[in-house]
Amino acid sequence: MASVQVHNLHSKLSSLPMADITRQFLNYLTVEAGLSENTILAYGRDLLSFAKFCQSHRINSLPQVQPEVIYRYLQFMAGKRTIADTINEAIAAVESVGQRILKVSTAVFGRFLKATRMALVRVWTRYGGGEQPCQREDDAEINRAMGAVKGTSRRFLDVSMAALARFLQATRAVLSRVWRARGKIGDRSKSEASINRALVAVKMLLRYAKMEGLVEDDFSSVLEGAKPWQKLPMIYSQQDVIKLLKAPCPADRFYHRDKAILELLYATGVRASELAGLKISDLNVKIGYLRCLGKGNRERVIPVGKAAIAATVEYLHELRPRLAKEFSGDFLLLSRTGRPMGRIEIWRLVKKYALRAGMPANLSVHTLRHCFASHLLAGGADLRSVQEMLGHVDIVTTQIYTHVDQQRLRKIHKQFHPRP
């Protein structure tokens, strides 16, 4: 699924400024840097948004990208839009439609001229240079020639009128967009994390362009993003998680698979993409562990509890043989068509059972990952072991879970504070 999305992303980039260098950069991240498809997709989407912004501001080459342009783009993402930004964006849309109309009209008019020339050549040949007298059959030949010219001119007129109608429709839409923008400045604001990620994508593109000798400076020393607030992850109690794990009903068509998915997510704390990529050979049900590839293709081994093992074995015996097809391969989790499940399908499945269990709508796959880490620390696990199981490169990322467990904080305060 991700590979298809990356291909579609390349197609969208082809009509935008700096398309070639952006595609080369994404290929570099894939081949040389060895980043995952989901990471490539995230970089590509951010650079696609930046390319659209550059197009609306008539920036067509990478050397034109200066720090003020990048900061203007960050302000645009933060919602600090002006009417001028909206007008520029709208004019770019009209110009794009106009260019397409001009291209189509030029092609049709070329066919019109070709038909006219062929008709005149045919008449001239028939009359032998105009020296022979006009006969009755010559009138028929002239009528056929003129009929061809009239037919082509009529098609040219129809296409031109249709193109003009599309142009007027696009202009009307642009004017409506500008009118609606009055008083709605800042209604497209992105989070600080999204803005910083977009800045990183642009900086990496400039760094690659400098490495290739396409620009003289990548402005790394002057481009800084906003420092995001540290947000505590959403954690649910063990009772709430148990309620979610019991949400699948035995009457459900894919009960065994769905139960195994929920159990594995909570028992191992894996990401949705990691779970989707699991193969049967990655799971050892006798010893109780699984092997998965995380970000940057880093491999890690995670213990699996008895409940998750039992649910997975039941799925392997009861349901997977009926779902498997010749093209299913060794993938553990299969969809109803026999194809490997994608991370989006797993995300939707968790949402479905969260609503069935009466839990908040913002509960996601990553919420179960947060619960896995927090409940381990609450049970007495050391931070280094939790870091290994989560696959965090930096232990600072794991330390955020130590601020979540209120009971643990009260216990530490009571034990070590000098006054009771």
Q: Which of 43, 315, 353, 401 is catalytic?
A: 401
Asked if 219 and 70 touch (Cβ cutoff 8 Å), the reply is: yes
Torsion sign (Cα): 19, 22, 28, 33:
negative
Radius of gyration of the chain (CA): 31
State the burial class of residue 366 (Cβ atoms within 10 Å of its Cβ: 0-12, 13-18, 19+).
middle
CA end-to-end span of the chain: 57
The β-bridge partners of 340 are 334
Q: Which of 23, 351, 366, 408 is catalytic?
A: 366
Q: Which of 256, 369, 370, 375 is catalytic?
A: 369
Cα 74 from Cα 196, distance rounded (Å): 9
Cα 129 from Cα 139, distance rounded (Å): 16
Give kind and range of the element (H or E) at residue 293.
strand 289-293
Q: Which of 72, 243, 392, 408 is catalytic?
A: 392
**Catalytic annotation present for 370:** no
- Kindly state the tokens that stand for 135: 């006969």
Q: Which of 256, 257, 271, 343 is catalytic?
A: 271
**Catalytic annotation present for 271:** yes
Which H, E and C letters describe 253-289, residue by residue? CCHHHHHHHHHHHHHHCCCHHHHHCCEHHHEECCCCE
**Catalytic annotation present for 58:** no
Alpha helices in 128-191 (DSSP H): 136-181
Give the residue among 58, 69, 67 at the shortest CA–CA distance from 17.
Answer: 58
C-alpha separations of 314 from 72, 112, 151, 243 in Å: 56, 71, 71, 20
**Catalytic annotation present for 392:** yes
Q: Which of 295, 300, 351, 356 is catalytic?
A: 295
Asked if 214 and 21 touch (Cβ cutoff 8 Å), the reply is: yes
Cα 51 from Cα 60, distance rounded (Å): 9
Q: Which residues are catalytic?
A: 271, 295, 366, 369, 392, 401
